Structure 1
Amino acid sequence: MHADVMIEVPFHDVDTMDVVWHGHYLKYFEIARCKLLDQFQYNYKQMRDSGYAWPVIESHVRYAHGILFQQKIRVRAILKEWENRLKIEYQIFDADTGKRLTKGYTTQVAVHIESREMCFQSPQILLERLNAWSEFKSE
């Protein structure tokens, strides 16, 4: 399962060399991650409404090639793990050439909002949403 978003790099995301500041890559990951979560109707509002928060506990970015002001990029988020945590991998491509510019991943875990306890398995609601989505896609 994956989702793609297109972004044109705005001026406020670049440094004096017109290269995207390294911290903004995580923002681009987040935009793609939200689109991915929307596919199976379990984005942050639905997470909260179901009684769980899903903080990012780990992130990694491999900066292979700089991204420039006004460059059009395609950011892909790929769901890799969901049974005990959400692990999502990302790839950023130049939208015109298809060249891969960056890759990375984030890891999130479920935390029960009321008790503030971390869950060692993904809550049933996530599995139900993923199952419903996969059944819908197979019809």
Structure 2
Amino acid sequence: MATTGLQVWDKTVQTTNIWLDEIMDAIGPDRQFAWHVLGAVLRTLRDRLPIEIAVHLGAQLPLLVRGAYYEQWHVGGEHPTGRGMEEFLGRVAASLGDTRSVAPAEATAAVFATLARHVDPGQVAKVLSALPEGIRRPLRDATAL
């Protein structure tokens, strides 16, 4: 492992790589694509959450992942109003754009499973409870360990 000379950076790079490895196990062996998927799903999730819960979740993410999570966030911006999983997955797909093909449901499940393994279970439960039932129900399966 390359070291930066700063323990905080070395730790976040190591932790982020663990997260990306887990996502790659589900979506295929392309680290750059896994990073793109992680950001797309996290930002879609963030935009669905009340600000307080979004911030509490962000505080539990590794420093590098936290940067991707907060990228392009406009606090007080318009929140999506769709209540179903199709709308959520459509936003993930739009965020992925013209990258390598992956089913948005598969990408979302991979990221949520990784979150469930590394984020405090109480925080994951709060995140899930803040989502509309149409989104919450499918994500519960992905977070079951």
TM-score in terms of structure 1 length: 0.31
Q: Which has the higher strand share?
A: 1
Q: Which has the higher helix share?
A: 2
Which structure would you say has the larger Rg?
A: 1
TM-score in terms of structure 2 length: 0.30
